[in-house]
Structure 1
């Protein structure tokens, strides 16, 4: 059986993979059934109905959603089981095929399951069910005639059991997308003649070695998307009938096993997303039938063996994301079938060889992010008539068509020429009328976009990226750009002047930030009904913000920061709004914050800092249950932020910046009680994953200004683990709430330049994630709590200009802080200050005084008197007997 999965644009698609497997299984089942309809044996029907009882349908816990097909639901007693959904019988009425894929089976598959009494089974498909992390049962060893076994996407766990070695007739074994772990069995063994009882006994005593290599009839072995580790066993080289070997998405290590070169029938070899090292062996070409070779996302080094380009049947070569070096050598190629070549994210150097033109069947070439250099002669590609995708981005290449303006090139659908030292719009684009994606970003293109460029891909262009160039505008002004199917348009970081261009009405993502656009926004922006992302930040746009933008039902992100918009914040959002990010900061907006924002139920980021807004604290914002970032910084907000019965806390807020306003009042000890997102420790698994706030498609990330460690910085990306509270430069008074100590995941706390008084709460010592603490310029008194020494991540501390006294805690992070952290507190002492503390008796010593009738003062007085008397006597003796002391000290 051959499961040939060839889809170069899909790195990891379980659904696509699963559908193919199901189609193939169905074809097996159909071929196994006889032309005359057999009648089911009574015992077979009874077994199937018992199995149905073991897995009652649980609709509410359906693990597979729309793809669920609970076949057993239609099974009825006193009917012919050979006609049941998913059941195939032989002419004697025995069940030989069972397809229960995506049947909503939930719960462990136990060893005593009635399923294992169907000993005549030849094909079994249990894919895409949920067996609750149970291990593969020993009962599978009963299926001596089984040749097809699909257990993919079943939530199995544990190791591959030795019982599978008893299935000597297996041709197809699919265990992918589970939670298997451990090493792949590597010892050879022949278990075909053992009974189930003997097998169990042998397993318990450890006498039976098991190897995948013992399943010598295997044609297809799929173990991808698990947690297997260790080396790939050389015994796999014994599977001489193997046509497909898929081990991708595991934790396999070591070098490429040379024994795999013995698999001359192999058509698919997938080892991607592992930890394999060493070089790629050149003798892999001995697999003369190989069609797909995927070694991507590993750590292979050395050169790409030139022999790979001479493999007669190879269609797909994927070596993306490795450490391959050296030049790309393509030589002695006579008849190559290669269609897809993926070499992204390696360290290849030298020139792009002209001999690449010998790979005449190429459809896609990806060379993104290598160290290739030199001039690229476009004539190389004129011979590749089938080429549809060309990616030369992020190298040191120089691509130009000067002198080749009339050259006939392939009709590209995707052309990626980012960072290719292009200085003008390439003329060959005039004839590219089938383009779907065009990326000319990060080049040196100057001046205006020529008229002819707007005829390029007019009917087909979907993605256009011209960002990070020196483009100033258009040769011919137009209200709406002409590409009628454009979805993504990126003009960021150029020198566009004048009014903002209006993207086509089909556009969903429009970026034009960091230009010199001016004037008012055209009313046509209100007609962009499909728009999801609009970023016009960092320009010189003026006038009022069109109210219609906020009522766009499809808008997810609106970023107009760093412009000159004035007037009020428009009434924004209506019921059903999907807006997640609203950034209107750094403008000249005035008035109040509209309460209509409460309808933005999906809002995660609200940034209206650096404006002239005069309003009270928006208490209604706590009803935005998904709000994570609230920035009101540098406005004219006033009044309290705490009112009894009016404020109950934020559920998901992680960043709040109220600094540089006129807020006042005190903060109740209850103020931070219900901040759920900050009251919870960050799971260690999340700490190691860098994820940023923004669009799930990674088209944009949210940005903001943040004062951290005493410096104001611009965050171009906001980590989902970042948490900060900044209420500095206001008029708050009263004591610092002790409930701040409950914010276990807080990283930045800035309460500086207020009128807080009283003691520093010792509860701040519980903020184990805290990295920056600024309490400067308040009226705090008392000593610095010793508990602050426990803050092992604290790298910035500012307690200056308060009325603190006593000893500065010693040890821990306090040994790293400078004088400036404590300046302006005249009664503080000890390191790092030069002022030393006066030592006072410890409680233990004072207690000793009372018990013994004399204390440390008496001891010191006695010691002092004795020392004085001794010195006096010494001086008298020395005057009378100088020779004696002269002898002693010489």
Structure 2
């Protein structure tokens, strides 16, 4: 200061004086009633930092009476009147209740209100919101409001933007009448987002011509989309996705909105027709989602006009022909999803440098992989699985794809070579993986890979290389993959002991090495911690006991140790695993009686128990049956285990005997409940408590030494589809209650000592002689031996009257045999999906794709919602 010139010092004093005078002369702009209302509103809310999604600074922390409320964060006032006209508390981690007496509604001059992305889960949307007569923008999205949306919202005649989208964990409803009233009254509306709101209505014919954004995703809409929607002149975003009862068709001529439309999402809407050439007019389009739309035919060449397109999703349809080369030349395209269609022919050269993700899986593409793949230097995801690609690929083929994080080549006929003599340390690596330092997912299932197991880079999280011809021992270096979450080495020729060090990979959730030639004992000191959810070692040559250390895996859901040489008594301590759903110990050398300890909660969630082909003795385990809670209750919400992050690549598979055939089925846990105790040495009577296991679909206690009568209580198994009591010493009559088992498809009582009349009606009309052979005392249909006054001629008359039903049964039997035996490898891949489609009436075209897409859709929703929110923010003034 002492060195400062006089002029500079005088100027500084002048500035300070002016600032002081100016600030002291300005009155508070905010009205007292407005600041009071805001502070009262703040007191009803709390901030929960654990809910943080976007803001780490909370606006309400700046609210205090010492500062003009018009300067508070999130608050804007009218400069003339001092009334609060804008309130933005979006994504502020607020928790609380907004009821009809909330002081929020004292801010009657509000023009813009944004409370989105908070937690008001105890609140309904109050009718008081309808009294904000000046409101032009209202956003209550993702704030966990629930219940009925009040009709009073349609009174807000000045609204230009209404966003009420909801999370999928809450339920909001809008009456069909109120939906039509809303569109009729809000004539100035430009933005409407009702994502997740249950409307259950058709779409009205008339819309405001001002619409720039219309989002009605997953709103339970039905009927036909009015074509007028496609002609809204200012429309930039149209999203009617996930309304599976909605149908429609595209305009055949130029759309009025074609010059402005940027985002079009009709995922799951039944378009049912060809892709029209008119799509080529949408030259501003950035995003096109037409997955699961039941469209067919070729891709029109006019799509080459979409020079601004970044996201192109046409997955899960019936598109056919070759993929036009123009698709691979679109200059802005980053994400291309054409999986689960019927594309054929060879893959054209890929000329786009912008592509980041390509999914062409589940088609009929063939020939060699195009060399242009080597030029995709920016690609992070490449999925060519489930096609007919063939030929040799050198290990250096993917060398330049430095950013690749997910590679899918499974279920093709590709072999790998190393003609370029790439220098690497693996003894006989078939895929050069160490150059892909960012690679997280590697899928090489069902190819022609030979030699030793290749070891991927340390960044790999999901490694699938099952169904190849790999041999030798598992290299210990695989234990260096400390981020590994899933390891699938099934159906190879690997041998040697299970590596002890695998237990050190704490992140491992799935370990699948079934159908190899592994030997030795199961490691007794596995330290997987709480992560392991699925362990499948079925079909190896393992010996010894079932290690009690498995009881430490409290997250374990699937345990399959079947078809080994384990020699032990029944490991009842596995019943302490709270989440175990599947336990298969079939075809081992287990022995002794099964005794249940006097403790509660044994096997509380078990749905599949397979102890067949062992040497268990004494009576059937009545005490165990009393504990099987999940088998005693029909739970329609039961889901198969999910493994987040694997992008739907891995599904648990378990070998069972179903419909008389042994097969391996996948995704079965929410469809099948199984008890298989066959081919043991059980004696005594069948306990009547087995009739309380009403959720059972497959019950097999054949090939034992069971005696006595069949308990009538088994007639309560209303869901049972396969019931096998054959090859025992059962006596007496078949319970008449069995005639009520209308789900029964396979029924086997052969080779017992049963007598009396076979029950008639329902499913019993479909069973053939072999269901009853070896029981000389039985009579009645379908046997030629009549009961009482019955005669063969009467029997024949009855049979002739059943021709139609028996032919239907024959068709079903043929279907199941085809489903179970039609795979050369003996696998029944997808059986449970087929069963689900038939039992629910869903179309078969959906079955083949829903598994692969459901996880992608779920994981992408939040990202898309965030993108939509940012879009709204950027275009709030449109």
TM-score > 0.5 by shorter chain: yes
The 2-side partners of 1:522 and 1:468 are apart by 24
Describe the shift of the 1:680–1:147 C-alpha distance in structure 2 as closer, same or farther (beyond 3 A): same
Whether 1:466 aligns to 2:409 is yes
The 2-side partners of 1:755 and 1:69 are apart by 72
- The aligned residue for residue 146 of structure 1 is 135
The 5 Å alignment of 1:167-182 reads 167-177=156-166, 179-182=172-175
* Deviation (angstroms), 1:786: 2.3
| Contact 1:604–1:629, Cα closer than 8 Å, also in 2 | yes
The 5 Å alignment of 1:105-184 reads 109-129=98-118, 136-156=125-145, 161-177=150-166, 179-183=172-176
The 2-side partners of 1:636 and 1:332 are apart by 63
In terms of mean alpha carbon deviation, does 443-452 or 657-666 score higher? Answer: 443-452
| Contact 1:694–1:702, Cα closer than 8 Å, also in 2 | no
2:370 pairs with 418, 422, 426, which one?
426
Describe the shift of the 1:496–1:806 C-alpha distance in structure 2 as closer, same or farther (beyond 3 A): same
* Deviation (angstroms), 1:787: 2.3
Mind listing any 5+ residue stretches in structure 2 that lack a counterpart?
A: 1-24, 791-878
The 1-side partners of 2:786 and 2:698 are apart by 31
The 1-side partners of 2:586 and 2:414 are apart by 34
* Deviation (angstroms), 1:179: 1.8
* Deviation (angstroms), 1:782: 2.9
The 2-side partners of 1:723 and 1:68 are apart by 47
- The aligned residue for residue 760 of structure 1 is 710
Q: How many residues align?
A: 748
Whether 1:245 aligns to 2:214 is yes
Mind listing any 5+ residue stretches in structure 1 that lack a counterpart?
A: 1-34, 188-209, 396-418, 841-890
The 2-side partners of 1:245 and 1:95 are apart by 29
- The aligned residue for residue 294 of structure 1 is 265
| Contact 1:89–1:96, Cα closer than 8 Å, also in 2 | yes
2:193 pairs with 218, 222, 232, which one?
222
- The aligned residue for residue 260 of structure 1 is 229
SS at match of 2:663: strand
Describe the shift of the 1:694–1:753 C-alpha distance in structure 2 as closer, same or farther (beyond 3 A): farther
| Contact 2:347–2:370, Cα closer than 8 Å, also in 1 | no
SS at match of 1:773: strand
- The aligned residue for residue 556 of structure 1 is 509
| Contact 2:324–2:348, Cα closer than 8 Å, also in 1 | no
The 5 Å alignment of 1:451-850 reads 451-453=395-397, 455-457=399-401, 459-475=402-418, 476=421, 478-479=425-426, 481-482=433-434, 483-574=436-527, 576-645=529-598, 649-667=602-620, 669-683=622-636, 691=640, 697=646, 698-838=648-788
| Contact 1:263–1:287, Cα closer than 8 Å, also in 2 | no
| Contact 2:240–2:265, Cα closer than 8 Å, also in 1 | yes
* Deviation (angstroms), 1:146: 1.1
Describe the shift of the 1:71–1:791 C-alpha distance in structure 2 as closer, same or farther (beyond 3 A): farther
| Contact 1:174–1:221, Cα closer than 8 Å, also in 2 | yes
- The aligned residue for residue 870 of structure 2 is none
- The aligned residue for residue 242 of structure 2 is 273
| Contact 1:370–1:394, Cα closer than 8 Å, also in 2 | yes
Describe the shift of the 1:249–1:779 C-alpha distance in structure 2 as closer, same or farther (beyond 3 A): same
Q: 1:134-185: per-residue Cα shift (whole Å, max 9, x none)?
A: 6543322321111111121244456654422322222211111252243265
SS at match of 1:314: coil
* Deviation (angstroms), 1:614: 0.8
| Contact 2:596–2:624, Cα closer than 8 Å, also in 1 | no
SS at match of 1:510: strand
Describe the shift of the 1:376–1:720 C-alpha distance in structure 2 as closer, same or farther (beyond 3 A): closer
- The aligned residue for residue 89 of structure 1 is 77
Q: 1:772-824: per-residue Cα shift (whole Å, max 9, x none)?
A: 11122222233322222222212222222223333332323223222322233
* Deviation (angstroms), 1:610: 0.9
The 2-side partners of 1:333 and 1:444 are apart by 26
Describe the shift of the 1:66–1:728 C-alpha distance in structure 2 as closer, same or farther (beyond 3 A): farther
Describe the shift of the 1:729–1:338 C-alpha distance in structure 2 as closer, same or farther (beyond 3 A): closer
Looking at CA atoms only, which structure, 1 or 2, has the larger radius of gyration?
Answer: 1
The 2-side partners of 1:235 and 1:449 are apart by 57
* Deviation (angstroms), 1:750: 1.1
| Contact 1:777–1:800, Cα closer than 8 Å, also in 2 | yes
The 1-side partners of 2:307 and 2:112 are apart by 38
Q: 1:640-692: per-residue Cα shift (whole Å, max 9, x none)?
A: 11145378631111111111111112245433112121122122x65xxx856
Q: TM-score, normalised by structure 2?
A: 0.77
The 5 Å alignment of 1:8-27 reads none
Structure 1 vs Structure 2 CA RMSD: 3.5
* Deviation (angstroms), 1:524: 0.9
- The aligned residue for residue 849 of structure 1 is none
Q: 1:420-464: per-residue Cα shift (whole Å, max 9, x none)?
A: 2123x533344444332333434555565425325232x322122
Whether 1:316 aligns to 2:287 is yes
In terms of mean alpha carbon deviation, does 744-753 or 811-820 score higher? Answer: 811-820
| Contact 2:31–2:83, Cα closer than 8 Å, also in 1 | yes
Describe the shift of the 1:79–1:746 C-alpha distance in structure 2 as closer, same or farther (beyond 3 A): farther
The 1-side partners of 2:579 and 2:559 are apart by 11
Q: TM-score, normalised by structure 1?
A: 0.76
- The aligned residue for residue 313 of structure 2 is 342
- The aligned residue for residue 794 of structure 2 is none
The 2-side partners of 1:638 and 1:699 are apart by 37
SS at match of 2:559: strand
